[in-house]
Chain A
Amino acid sequence: MAKPLEGIVVLDNSLYEVGPRSTMFLADMGAMVIKVEPPEGEFYRSYAMFLPSAERQISISNRNKKGIRLNLKSGRGMEVFNDLVKKADVFVEAFRPGVAKELGIDYETLRAVKPGLIYLSIAIYGQTGPYHQVRGYDIIAQATGGMLCYYDPPPRGQFLPLSDFTSPVYAAFAVLLALHHRHETGKGQHIDLSCHDVMYATNFLAASYDCLKDRVDDTVLNWIAGVYPRGQYPRLVYGFYRTKDNDYIFVAPLQEEHWQAFVDVIGRDELRDPSRYGTLMQRAKHSEDGALIVAEWVAERTRPEVKTIMDEAGVPCEPVVRPEELRDDPQLNAREMLVEVACAELGKFKIPGVPIKLSDTPGDIECIGPKLGEHTEEILGNFLGYSQDRIAELRQEGVI
């Protein structure tokens, strides 16, 4: 069965994670994604000089793609580039706003080369607004998108790159919207994605605060949009605990039936007091006192013990899986979310599978990300129809 995006050609000029991870979704589903790298290669490749495994990272985000090495700073390089654009449906760039124009590869220029082109720009603050020229990274978008204020004080040095994680999914979604629109009308368009906007859009804390601040009292506001430690979800019905073996576990007796089973398991009469724990509202109000009792109970048991007991009682409970456990996680493995790949230079290793499982036209992982310039000749020869002589000439001139 053909893959769903077969026939779509994506020219990806972006580096690092956000852009490449956006086009990864498209490549998984059969689009032909051509990764354009400058002569010196992607940032990660310089890393690989002192850490050979670093190159494995490129092989994940750039799986299923073709790689070409092209000098866009030369006139001949731009000729090759324009030939590629003429055959592309989608173009992706993640430069600082304005740089694409300086390079002569902005939307207005490229749409003249290829009418109907879908042009995706990804930038930390997008292409407009007072900060759009500010240089930024993931945590900048998180800081100004309100993602770091959940703890007071905020984490000082241990961040999850939430914007790098999430922006690519929105980007791929936007590209699909644009493809559908082009199918109907023949028109391409420009997509302007801001990582900062993404952080605010997925930021339940700040968004729910804005939505609720004048509608509910402070207690309720702090349950829903609370900044830890002054406010947060009531731990007694939705919380994390430390186990005897120094792991963590999540227990959520939020629904009434689960609460009853939970109280039986913990077996402490205090939790049966109807004046303090009779309703969800009361449990939330007395959450801290109740959670201390539960914490004591959990601390006497290991993570597997707690999980088994809660499972048997039917109380929602999940272990906090440690990074080193993920490789062998039974759920992820059962869902083919860990796929073993191998290549001569990098050896055998596991990479994440395709998260969107389609029944009839599923995506898959055909190959890992390309080596620097791995497909330059193939793309120029087979795809653009250049002669061997022309390719040799371009190579000699240092264009490819």
Chain B
Amino acid sequence: MRVIDLSSFVAGAYGTGLLASFGAEVIMLEPLTGSFMRSIASIAPGTAALSSMVNHDKKNLALDLKTEKGREIFRELVKSSDVVVETFMPGTMSKLGLDYERLAETNPRLVYLSLTAYGQTGPRCNDVGYDAGVQATSGMQTLREHPEVAPPIFSDFVSSVYGALGVLIALWSRLATGRGQYIDLSMNDAMFSQNYLSHLRIAWEGVPEEIIAMSSHPPRCLLGCFRASDGYVVTCLLRQEQWVAAANVMGQKQMVDDKRFANIITRALNDEAASCMVEEWTSKHARDEIVDAMTRAGAPCAKVLSREEVGDDPQLRSRGMSVELNDVSLGTVRVPGIPFKMSETPPAMRTAAPRLGEHTVEILVSLLGYSKAEVDDLKQQSIVGY
């Protein structure tokens, strides 16, 4: 399976990276001046390492699509490809004459994914989309405790997985129909579709606000974060036996005897008092101590790991979630692995992000049949780069 990847940042690229991990030949196509990601790296050089988080195991072709010859090379490449992924503003590919309809004329088996902030239709479709903007419009940001703080990049990653899923579904469909198709994916749709706290509110029209609020954000004593002597822990004490187990660990007889804490409903109604009792104990103990004791008693509990700790978490380590790739100029780069294991077709992440134009010659010569002299000539004319 060959994928031509035109994405310029995380959105789209993370999804084609997943496909590359399972053996797809992914050719990233970049303008001769480099993508948006490289422009960040030109300001702060070390950040170039971030590219390997999404562009590992890909080939790189530097090609100027603004020239007619560049577009001709692109069309030749598409003829022998299965998938095109692009993340430009709606209309951009059409202006270049490289939209799905025209490419499908010469390759009807092509699957073409457009992944944009708001999709190809609707009143917001021409908005310049950023990850945080999508989190704002899809109803995610409003549910956060701090809606005034920009959240970490999230929708770029998740929408990319939707994109990769869409590609595999379209390829599955192709097995039956012999034809590819167009996928119009909106990050905003993807984020909204998974935000089931919002669905609850929409589907529960007419249900009292307190009940909606409690269902979207359960009281802290049921599901919450508590101070420890050296950081924070989270606990999930939904079932009565879990609450009782926690009470025993904490040696708080009152947590069991007091009528206010007799069941899930009364605890929810007396959340402040209940949470106070929990925190009174947790704040005097270290995270490891708390988690050990609670876990042994059957009360779900975990450490809140800091950004410094999480990559070395023994569970993640044991699952191979921190992958080391060797970058020729940057040395060893640590990136996250694939979050599921497959018994027959395990993923493989082998190479760091390619340099700009690293595979230009290889692709033009071996794949498209150009001679080395012709490629040199194209370089002279600034149509390709390497």
Contact = CB atoms under 8 A, between A and B. Distances in A.
B314 interface: yes
B143 to A, nearest CB: 6
Given A146-B307, A158-B145, A250-B133, A207 B335 contact: yes
A144 B46 contact: no
Interface stretch (A65-73, A148-156, A266-274, A391-399): A148-156
A169 B133 contact: no
A317 B175 CA distance: 42
Interface in B120-144: 121-125, 127-130, 132-134, 136-144
Q: Interface size for chain A: under 10, 10 to 19, 20 to 34, or 35 or more residues?
A: 35 or more
Interface in B300-358: 300-311, 313-316, 318-319, 321-322, 330, 333-345
A196 B315 contact: yes
B70 interface: no
A232 B197 contact: no
Contact of B136 (A53, A210, A321): A321
B285 interface: no
B74 interface: no
A224 interface: yes
A156 B225 contact: yes
A320 B45 CA distance: 33
A178 B359 CA distance: 30
Nearest to A188: B344
A202 B160 CA distance: 10
A193 B339 contact: yes
Contacts of A169: 158, 161-162, 165, 194
Contact of B236 (A61, A137, A164): A137
A61 B130 contact: no
Contacts, number: 457
A317 B43 CA distance: 24
A254 interface: yes
A359 B182 contact: yes
A110 interface: no
15 contacts: A134-B302, A143-B303, A149-B305, A169-B158, A178-B342, A189-B344, A201-B157, A210-B310, A212-B50, A281-B43, A318-B127, A330-B122, A351-B203, A355-B162, A360-B181
A233 interface: yes
A179 B170 CA distance: 13
B143 A160 contact: yes
A292 interface: no
Interface string B99-137: 010000000000000000011011111011110111011
B158 A156 contact: no
In order of increasing CB-CB distance, the 5 nearest A-B pairs are: A215-B46, A146-B310, A197-B339, A157-B220, A334-B122
Which of B185, B301, B305 lies at the interface centre, i.e. has the most chain A CB atoms within 10 A of its CB? B305
B147 A194 contact: no
Interface stretch (B61-69, B204-212, B364-372): B204-212
Give the secondary structure class of A's interface. Answer: mixed
Contact of A242 (B129, B136, B148, B340): B148
B188 to A, nearest CB: 6
Interface in A305-339: 316-324, 326-327, 329-332, 334-335, 337-338
B173 interface: yes
Nearest to A52: B207
B44 interface: yes
Nearest to A142: B234
Contacts of A142: 234
Interface in B148-177: 148-154, 157-158, 161-162, 164-166, 168-173, 175-177
Given A252-B133, A331-B118, A335-B186, A143 B305 contact: yes
A161 interface: yes
Given A130-B318, A143-B233, A148-B225, A332 B189 contact: yes
A3 to B, nearest CB: 8
